[in-house]
Homo-oligomer: A and B are copies of this chain.
Amino acid sequence: MKRVRQLLLISSSKVHGHEYLQHTRKEIESFCNSNQILRILFVPYAAKDHDAYTEKVATALRGFGYETTGIHTYGDKSEAIKNAQCIFVGGGNTFLLLKTLYELNLVELIRERVTNGDLHYMGSSAGTNVATKSIKTTNDMPIVFPPTFDAIGLVPFNINPHYLDADPNNKHQGETREDRLKEFHEQNVTPVLGLREGTALLVDGDRAQLVGEFNGRLFRQNEKPEEIQPNTDLSFLLQWTD
């Protein structure tokens, strides 16, 4: 287990044409093997039914060879985090997830342990949003009110998971994803990495890299969005300060 920050931030648990988590099996196995991880603590708080959600994820991860338990089954959640080698924070609703993590006093604990290299972090979708600076670039509906939009802050920038290109044939007049991220940058200076489905960000200490089959898209205030090729070194983003 390397004693520096280790993150695998996945855009989505599902990709069209693949079974649940199968599209990212290679990245999960590589992440776990290089960190000698055998057991994973799953965090199901982005969904309502914790048992059913944990069973679904555990089934997929057991298929890859990892024993998986749900944090909700532990009486003392902080102890569960302290004893874990690696957590996987699943997708669902980002607001519900962040609110629950604050209610359980887990935000600071996870930040400390991951930053120190004592806990490895995998997240998908909402679980990726909460790992970043803030949840201000989630796509989710604000169904519950969290105490703040500030998130765990394992990286100093934001991510937009499920990043979606505009469809020129779409007649719907709602904002495109790019419109929304432009609005974000009218109010915030933080860079945003758009992760298309089928991509992820891998962080090893001070190094960050886009992984997966597709390009990422990087949005910075007052700059044109930039296409990022797979395997591009994105370590410079880890140096960002607002």
Name 20 extra pairs, CB < 8 A, besides A136-B141, A144-B187.
A15-B173, A48-B183, A93-B183, A95-B142, A96-B183, A96-B187, A136-B142, A136-B144, A136-B145, A137-B141, A139-B141, A141-B183, A141-B184, A143-B184, A143-B187, A143-B188, A145-B149, A162-B173, A164-B172, A172-B197
If A173-B15, A173-B162 touch, whether A143 touches B136 (CB-CB below 8 Å) is: yes
Chain B residue numbers with a CB within 8 Å of A92 are 183
Q: Verify A174–B139 contact, CB threshold 8 A.
A: yes
Residues of B within 8 A of A173 (CB): 12, 14-16, 162, 197
**When chains A and B are docked, how far (Å) is the Cα of A96 from the Cα of B184?**
10
Q: How far is the CB of A36 from chain B (nearest CB, A)?
A: 31
Q: Chain A residues in contact with chain B, CB under 8 A?
A: 12, 14-17, 48, 92-93, 95-96, 135-145, 148-149, 162, 164, 171-175, 180-181, 183-184, 186-188, 197
Taking CB atoms, residues of chain B closer than 8 Å to A180 are 140-141, 143
Q: Which chain B residue shows the least CB distance to A196?
A: B172
Considering the chains assembled together, what is the distance between the CA atoms of A143 and B96 in angstroms? 17
A142: chain B residues within 8 A (beta carbon):
95, 135-136, 138, 142, 149
Please give me the residue from chain B that is nearest to A137 by CB atom: B141
Cβ of A48: which chain B residues have Cβ within 8 Å of it? 183, 186-187
Report the Cα distance A96→B188, complex, angstroms. Answer: 12
